[in-house]
Amino acid sequence: MKKVVVNPQRCVGCMQCMIACATAHSRTQSLFTAALETPTPKPRVHVGAGLCGDGFPNRCRHCDPAPCMLACLPGAIHRDPELDTVRIDPDRCINCASCAMACPFGVIRYHVDPLGPPGKTVAVKCDNCVDRRREGRIPACVEVCKSGALTFEEMGAAMKRQTDAVARSVASEVEGKPAIPAGVALHRALRRASWEMNQERKENSHEG
Amino acid sequence: MALDYVIIGNGVAGIQAAETIRRLDRTGHITLIGDETHLPYCRPMISMALEGTIDFPALTIRGPDFYEANAITPILGERVAAIDVDGRAVIIGGGRRVPFHRLLIATGADPRPVAAAGLDLNNIHYMRSQDHVRRMLASIDGARRATVLGGGLVGFKAACGLLRRGVGVSLLIGSGHPLSMQVDDEAGAMLLAELRRRGLDVRVGAAVAGFEGENGRVRSAALKDGGRVDCDLVVIGKGVRPALDFVPRDRIPVDLGILVDARMETGAPGIYAAGDVAEAEDIARRTRWVNAIWPEAVEQGRVAGMNMAGRQVAYPGSLSRNVIRVFDMDAMTAGVVTPDDDGLYEVIRERDAGGRLYRKLVFREDRLVGFTLINRIEQGGVMTALIRSRLPIRVSRRRLLAPDFNWSLLLP
Ligand SMILES: Cc1cc2nc3c(=O)[nH]c(=O)nc-3n(C[C@H](O)[C@H](O)[C@H](O)COP(=O)(O)OP(=O)(O)OC[C@H]3O[C@@H](n4cnc5c(N)ncnc54)[C@H](O)[C@@H]3O)c2cc1C
Ligand code: SF4
Ligand code: SF4
């Protein structure tokens, strides 16, 4: 299954993905009219400042197991198996921020969402553009990213495992002896993530 | 041979364990014994039912087909009276024995009783279950003034819920600010100010001696300092204690909670414990601790379930953590919040000029072991992950305090 892959070393910090994401999650779906909507559509991908002031695109990793999902009080977060996407049901969400305390990537925001119940503050994050995908379109952030920082490709099983390792390390599921702390998994995953940032994605280049 | 799994308690730890066992073992028999007859529900949300922002069905976290779909035999409305450790059976009402190969004790906690005169008056409630809240709501009509005892999570949520219902509330707390187990003095003072601004009558350093009533109904609370608070509804939220009366302490070692190892197994082989009733190693405090919170109950239930079904999984330890939204103020805390002044810890803080933001990080050696965030809590999960992973912090500590902090700043 194709996934959005983040290559932060290529990010030029232009924030086009944020604009495209906000537009894709607006009611009117057009850049010009979306800006006039109330509530203002907000992006679900966040470009922050990296280590040297460079751009750092950050979005939901759709972890498995997903720490946010385990922490959610009313059970508002579920996995949509069709696109392997972790989704939040805004009708069930009670805005308790338990998921903010659980997400190791810090990608969830809380506000009224144009696509959610009117006037209700809810947890909002990347939904892998499920609606666009059902129409055969690729995620909005990828479509607009010209620098190759966000790409849409088959995610190697190895890469996916590393992402999940971060999630598992905080979901308290470490197999083996207690002497192997979760920290090792997170540390390895962070190292791996930085390696990914600095390398070409060789292991994926042969996949379509 | 199919194994007999017995789970005591149909709270979240129990149901997580049951589901996990079923995923790993399709043929074993799972029996779930619980004294609450409702469908599995979200306990922390009962205060929202009190408040009136959701109705009772919305508390449900598993559908009516839960037991059937997972091939679980429920025994509901029954309390376990004893465990026969050598005979491998639990004993329920009427002396009925339910045999087990693997047992999970997930009985949660009970409200800590208070010692005060006049507790037999009507309209004095604990708040632990749906039924408690139903009873409170039945007596709320005509109630004009409520007194809530205890500034912990439960007392605090009860007070806010009643206030939102339009009932005047006096919150009596023994310490200097609410949530004294969760936040430090500075964050506590910010919470206290916010609550008072919203019209809550908070009395700090207050202790109740007894209740007085008329025609069997409570009318006032008498304070130990001689003062009185008028009230026609009382909620007692003075903390909880693990529900383990039926546990044979000579066979299953108990401290405050039931002692468990990293696989959630008790001192008695094949018998496990998880959730509010269990006492596991605490990652941040580096000692055993009962962390009676929802996300721990979820994870401990899962880890117990995996190990019971034969998949060896070690739990890295528990971590106290809470996130609370108080009207317009958000507070998130985890791990060591107010460290002992013994030189082991290093604390760094930051506040903004407007008094809206407060952030405090607690380090021990090169590890993050605790934090307090008031507002701007979105990155709290990254910090929680840092504590739980015990990752040495190699970057500047100040950088973690920056409002625009994100996890890329941690990369080696
Ligand atoms: C008002 C309130 C607000 C809360 N807010 C928060 C919050 O914001 N965040 C947070 O993290 N946590 C919160 N908590 C705590 C959270 O609800 C608990 O940590 C969690 O529910 C523990 O789950 P558990 O499965 O271990 O136990 P429980 O949910 O207590 O379930 C145990 C079950 O076992 C049953 N049982 C007990 N003894 C027996 C017996 N002998 N035989 C048969 N059955 C038995 C009980 O009736 C109960 O149904 C709150 C709690 C309350 C009451
Ligand atoms: S924990 Fe964070 S990154 Fe992982 S699925 Fe949940 S929101 Fe996405
Ligand atoms: S804020 Fe919403 S999605 Fe997040 S944990 Fe709470 S209810 Fe679940």
Rounded Cα–Cα distance for residues B75 and B35 (Å): 8
> Tell me: the pLDDT tens digits for B56-85?
999 999 999 999 999 999 999 999 999 999
The pLDDT value given to residue A175 = 43
pLDDT of residue B274: 98
DSSP designation for B116: -
- Fill in the amino acid letter for B368: L
What is the pLDDT of chain B when averaged over all its residues?
94
Which tens digit of pLDDT belongs to each residue from B125-183?
Answer: 999 999 999 999 998 888 889 999 999 999 999 999 999 999 999 999 999 999 999 99
pTM attached to this predicted model? 0.92
**Residue range B23-45: mean pLDDT, rounded:** 97
**DSSP for A60-73, written as a single string:** ----SS-HHHHH-S
Whether B43 lines ligand 1, by a CB cut-off of 6 Å, is yes
Q: Note the pLDDT of residue B398.
A: 85
Q: pLDDT-derived band of residue A154, with 50, 70 and 90 as boundaries? A: confident
* Whether the CB of A97 sits within 6 Å of ligand 3: yes
Residue B110 near residue B243, CB atoms below 8 Å? yes
Residue A50 has a pLDDT of 73
Alpha helix stretches (DSSP H) within B165-242: 185-197
Q: Which helix (H) or strand (E) holds B300?
A: helix B294-308
**B275 and B310 in contact (C-beta within 8 Å)?**
no
Q: How confident is the model at residue A155 (pLDDT cuts 50, 70, 90)?
A: confident
pLDDT on residue A174: 42
Pairing of strands B208-214, B217-223: antiparallel
Q: Is B34 on the interface with A (CB under 8 A)?
A: no
Supply angle C-alpha B305, B310, B312, rounded to 5: 85
Q: Determine which residue's CA is closest to atom 7 belonging to ligand 2.
A: A60
Q: Given this model, what pLDDT does residue B112 score?
A: 95
Chain B nearest-CA distance from A63, in A, is: 14
Q: Do A106 and B379 touch (CB under 8 A)?
A: yes
Q: Tell me: pLDDT of A191 over 90.
A: no
Contact A100 B299 (CB under 8 A): no
Rounding to the nearest 10 degrees, give the CA dihedral for residues A188, A189, A190, A191.
50
* B269 exposure class (CB count in 10 Å sphere: 0-12, 13-18, 19+): exposed
One DSSP character per residue, A134-181 reads HTTPPPHHHHH-SSSSEEEEEPPHHHHHHHHHHHHHHTT-EES-TTS-
Q: Break chain A into its structural domains and give their ranges.
A: 61-124, 161-199
What is the structure's pLDDT at B40?
Answer: 97
As to burial, measured by CB atoms within 10 angstroms (0-12 exposed, 13-18 middle, 19+ buried), residue A49 is: middle
Ligand lying nearest the CA atom of residue A107: 2
Contact present, A139 and A22 (Cβ < 8 Å): no
Rounded CA separation B312/B340 (Å): 36
What residues pair up with A151 in beta bridges, in sequence order? Answer: A5
pLDDT at A203: 43
Contact criterion met (CB below 8 Å) for B272 and B265: yes
d(C-alpha B64, C-alpha B76), whole Å:
14
Q: What φ, ψ does residue B13 adopt, rounded to 5°?
A: -65, -45
Structure tokens at B226: 């001689």
- Which residues lie closer than 8 Å to B354 by C-beta, 6 or more apart? none
CB B299 within 8 A of CB A171: yes
Q: Which fold has domain A61-124?
A: Alpha-Beta Plaits (3.30.70)
The DSSP H or E segment spanning A197 is: helix A182-198
* ∠ Cα B396 B397 B403 (to 5°): 105
pLDDT at A162: 60
Q: Which of the residues A56, A60, A70, A73 would you substitute to probe the B interface, choosing the one with the greatest number of B C-beta atoms within 10 Å?
A: A73
Instruction: Give the Cβ contact number of residue B17 at 10 Å.
Output: 33
Alpha-helical runs (H) found in B120-200:
130-138, 153-164, 185-197
pLDDT digits (tens, 9 = 90+) for A68-113: 999 999 999 999 998 889 999 999 999 999 999 999 999 999 999 9
A positions 60-79 inside 8 Å of B (CB):
67-68, 70-71, 73-75
> What is this model's ipTM?
0.93
**pLDDT tens sequence across B284-302:** 999 999 999 999 999 999 9
Cα distances (Å, whole numbers) of residue B301 to A98, B309, B372: 18, 12, 27
Q: How far apart are CA A86 and CA A79, in angstroms?
A: 4
**Three-class SS state of B361:** strand
pLDDT in tens, B308-351: 999 999 888 999 999 999 888 999 999 999 998 889 999 999 99
Q: What is the pLDDT of residue B242?
A: 98
Answer with the residue of higher pLDDT: B401 or B129: B129
Residues of B (246-305) whose Cβ lies below 8 Å from A: 261-263, 294-295, 298-299, 302-303
Which tokens in the block code for residue A159? 């890469």
By most ligand atoms within 8 Å of CB, the mutation choice from A70, A95, A107 for ligand 3 is: A95
